[in-house]
Structure 1
Amino acid sequence: MKRSRTMSCLIAGAVALATLVVASPAASAAGTGTGYWSARGAQLVDATGAPVRMTGINWFGSETANFTFHGLWTRNYRDMVGQMAQLGYNTIRVPYSNQMLDAGSTPNSIDLAKNPDLAGLSGIQIIDKVVAEAGRRGMRVILDRHRPDAGAQSPLWYTSAYPESRWISDWKALAARYKGNPTVIGADLHNEPHSVQGGSGSCWGCGDNARDWRLAAERAGNAILGVNPDWLIIVEGVDCVTGTGTPECGWWGGNLAGAKQFPVRLSKPEKLVYSAHEYATSVFAQPWFSDPTYPANMPGLWDHFFGYLEKENTAPVLLGEFGTTLADSRDGVWLRELMKYAGTGTSGMDFTYWSWNPNSGDTGGILNDDWTTVNTAKQAYLTPYLIPPVGGGGPSDPPPPPGACTANYHLDNSWNGGFQATVKITNTGGDAVSNWAARWTVPSGVQLVNGWGATVSQTGQTITAAAPSWSPTLASGASVSVGFVANGPSSPGASAFRLGSTDCTVT
């Protein structure tokens, strides 16, 4: 399925038509570091203050009518994530649509013989699986709200079917879903906001709440940080910004010139990352590719559109999409110069290449059309700049066991005739557990009074903690703590802990 892109800004300046997921073990790697990330000036740092850098790849499909990653019709998802890590990519940018989150948006075109553990899962539950596998390999994930619906990208961040309120509420739900799981490090708020002919569409700094993308990004970003203060908030540019010098127009999402006068203001400024998209002449014949000084003109152009934010130590810039078919002789020159501009090592500009998929109609992919072999010509341009995840392994690595858990029982308080205790259950298996239920046995004479952190009930000597409706999935590596008060003896405590049908190891 081709991914079409209609690029803006012809030479004349007209616009072309065109909370239970916690404590997942964080990687300790040169590129991905430890714990959550923040910005220190233009440098991303991990929870210890060590510099980190995204050198990643886009894997699209969840934003389309397949409602899941493309390529699952021919390969196992764990194999593909492992191959990404083996090639040196340490981050996956995952596009999705709000429609994917709707009830009835059923993932399709999956070879279940190759992906048996994806049977019956929703689109977001399949993303959970990829997140778990990426985390196991030391990688990070950023979520990209690519489209409101599966049909097409939108110039504004909302449509009549998916208004701003839905856009923000979905982001808040995702922020809660992955809270405490440092594999998922941030939210790319909306893909490629852009203007449309006639003066509508997105603007930057115009002050119109219905059109000003910078103001909308502040509203959404601060709402997300209110739920998950650990996430990076990734804000793309627009295409055209008047009054910022020549040229005024660039790629959709690629023009951040307006951020100098009108910066994005977040409640946690250290969580702001700007993002720009940049493409080759084979995607669209922008005028700068025909400049007689090409490619010497390109660093100045990149400075103008986005690079100044890094050079002035304002904020990190993520090259969220850049790609090429290498069909035009100028394309390889462009890619070579762009990577030199981005720089090497952890101090270089962050990037996620478009795309892993070979079925991007504009660019092709790192994979060839067989979805297995690598386009070595493209990969050769990127390899010197990649910072692999430590211990990323390869596609042949065996997955962790599908069912495993640990349990910790703590007596919080006791009194004559009753007690309060907490049970912490950790999913140590390789798969997320949907609609989870934990159970344990209490001594004779213990009677539950109430519980919290789940839907807690008692039958005989068995207490059951069932997943609440607002957090039905326990991701791989995640934990849930359930508190309860009971009448009866506080000793000898509880025993026979289980997660679903799996016996848990007591810690």
Structure 2
Amino acid sequence: MNSPMDQNNVPTNPETTETKSVPRSRRLRMGIAAAVVAVGAVGGTVTAFAMNGDDAGSSSSAAPGKPAGSDVEFPLSTKKGDIVDSNGKKVVLTGVNWFGFETGTFAPHGLWTRSLDSMLDQMAKQGFNTMRLPYANEMFDAKSKPNGIDFKQNPDLKGLTGQQIMDKVVKGATDRGMMVILDQHRPDQYSQSELWYSQSLTENKWLSDWVKLAKRYKSNDRVIGADLHNEPRGQATWGDGNKKTDWHMAATKAGNAIHKVNKNWLIFVEGTDRHKNEQFWWGGDLQGVKKHPVKLDEGNKVVYSAHDYGPGVFNQNWFQAKDFPKNMPAIWKKHWAYVKQQNIGPLLLGEFGGRKTAGNSKEAIWQNALMDYLKKNQISYTYWTWNPDSGDTGGVLNKDWKTLDKNKMKMLSKYQMPMLEPKGKASE
């Protein structure tokens, strides 16, 4: 999702969710400036589960089979419509996003209120053992100084670069039994880009940053892969051979570059926002995959990814249908779920979310229907988002950054599985 910010990097009106005539998802960050001021004054899983193939049933309609527990063997790869571990057991991710590295704080949001350890402890306690971790390439620049952190509560983060703080987050998450997907969310702190390159980010820099990250985290097998570019849209095409716009071609190039230095990583490839003349959510349309699947030199490593949102983000016409929500499975299947159902490849719903999960609002009905659909089809997901400062969706945490939105956790807990063992407890 995206966040409108003014040129001084101050959030626009946090109480207003911006919508446009073109379907899109965007988030507004709430209270960053106030939080940074306050900090200055004081000083300063997806749950994964593995299943035996015989227990899984068909990918289009099976309920989750008997979990194999926490005995996932790395590295992960793919087999038809599933992610599998090195022993061939199916692995399903049911996780959460935690954003901030892609913003002007160059650090995860919420560290102005509490410690990194307490945040990760709480996240792991809720059963999320995969974290999708967005970043901006600008974070790697020497001039990009992390801020918005209460260093009295996070003394070990003082003086670190954004990359070094990312190291702390990754180690803390994986030590607690979570897997991590890195997400190139923006070229810079100000806005997302339609394409994988922009005025502030060349294609070569996009590629070289991915190669550096793949090398950096190669020794941590719970860092499982790269979400190459967040929400391709607008100019982005799929499979037309145009070097300037063909996202399929660019993703292939990036995946092969990453695998030259780290063959273990899964390559998560999002869709675009349209197929022919039909528009959908940013990054949410995978219809082009059927004719033009992504084929890497390293086989069995591609996971397709889509984003899908509800009426709280944009009031699409399908939410107004007389048969809503019964009409939704056909829409999901057409745009993204068919990829797994037809065994073309595994699928991650990398973003979905909304403020309302209980009651009779259309947004609550939509979210619960989608959760049921994901569970029925054993589709992996990372929920948007842990943060409460996502303007049009809210988060798993309430605005105090400490207490949980109990209705959201009640919904998410319908489809979670046993976590991996924390590294300190895992058998050697």
User: Partner amino acid for 1:321?
Assistant: E
Aligned partner of 2:266 in structure 1 is 232
Aligned partner of 1:241 in structure 2 is 275
Change (3 A) 1:233 1:242: same
Aligned partner of 2:104 in structure 1 is 65
Secondary structure (helix, strand or coil) at the match of 2:91 reads: coil
Distance in structure 2 (CA, Å) of the matches to 1:32 and 1:65:
39
Higher normalized contact order (CA 8 Å, seq sep 6+, divided by chain length): 2
Distance in structure 1 (CA, Å) of the matches to 2:24 and 2:409:
31
Distance in structure 1 (CA, Å) of the matches to 2:343 and 2:210:
28
5 Å-filtered alignment, 1:357-368, equals 357-368=387-398
- Which deviates more, 33-42 or 348-357? 33-42
Q: Would you say the 8 A contact 2:95–2:382 is kept in 1?
A: yes
If you compute each CA radius of gyration, which structure gives the higher value, 1 or 2? 1
Distance in structure 1 (CA, Å) of the matches to 2:195 and 2:419:
35
Q: Would you say the 8 A contact 1:37–1:47 is kept in 2?
A: yes
- Deviation at residue 160 of structure 1 after TM alignment: 2.2
Distance in structure 1 (CA, Å) of the matches to 2:281 and 2:352:
11
- Give yes or no for the alignment of 1:307 onto 2:337: yes
Aligned partner of 1:259 in structure 2 is 289
User: Partner amino acid for 1:257?
Assistant: Q
2:141 paired residue among 102, 109, 112: 102
Distance in structure 1 (CA, Å) of the matches to 2:70 and 2:19:
32
Change (3 A) 1:273 1:16: closer
Distance in structure 1 (CA, Å) of the matches to 2:165 and 2:143:
15
Aligned partner of 1:294 in structure 2 is 324
Name the structure where helix makes up a greater proportion of residues: 2
Distance in structure 1 (CA, Å) of the matches to 2:70 and 2:93:
7
Pairwise CA RMSD:
2.4
Secondary structure (helix, strand or coil) at the match of 2:352 reads: strand
Distance in structure 1 (CA, Å) of the matches to 2:268 and 2:74:
18
TM-score of the superposition, structure 2-length normalised?
Answer: 0.82
Aligned partner of 1:51 in structure 2 is 90
Aligned partner of 1:174 in structure 2 is 213
- Deviation at residue 273 of structure 1 after TM alignment: 0.3
Aligned partner of 2:114 in structure 1 is 75
Distance in structure 1 (CA, Å) of the matches to 2:416 and 2:140:
32
Stretches of structure 1 lacking an aligned partner (at least 5 in a row): 19-25, 196-200, 394-399, 401-507
Change (3 A) 1:113 1:17: closer
Q: Would you say the 8 A contact 1:37–1:232 is kept in 2?
A: yes
Aligned partner of 2:378 in structure 1 is 348
Per-residue Cα deviation, 1:100-134 (whole angstroms, up to 9, x for no partner)? 01111110011111111111111111111111111
5 Å-filtered alignment, 1:161-200, equals 161-195=200-234
Change (3 A) 1:287 1:31: farther
TM-score of the superposition, structure 1-length normalised?
Answer: 0.70
Distance in structure 2 (CA, Å) of the matches to 1:322 and 1:32:
28
2:253 paired residue among 189, 194, 219: 219
Aligned partner of 1:203 in structure 2 is 237
Moved over 2 A (4+): 2-8, 14-18, 26-32, 390-393
User: Partner amino acid for 1:163?
Assistant: T
- Deviation at residue 388 of structure 1 after TM alignment: 3.7
Identical positions, percent: 47
- Give yes or no for the alignment of 1:87 onto 2:115: no
Aligned partner of 1:396 in structure 2 is none
Q: Would you say the 8 A contact 1:194–1:253 is kept in 2?
A: yes
Per-residue Cα deviation, 1:138-159 (whole angstroms, up to 9, x for no partner)? 1100000000011000111101
Distance in structure 1 (CA, Å) of the matches to 2:25 and 2:266:
32
Change (3 A) 1:310 1:16: closer
- Give yes or no for the alignment of 1:149 onto 2:188: yes
- Deviation at residue 7 of structure 1 after TM alignment: 6.5
Q: Would you say the 8 A contact 1:98–1:147 is kept in 2?
A: yes
- Deviation at residue 334 of structure 1 after TM alignment: 0.8
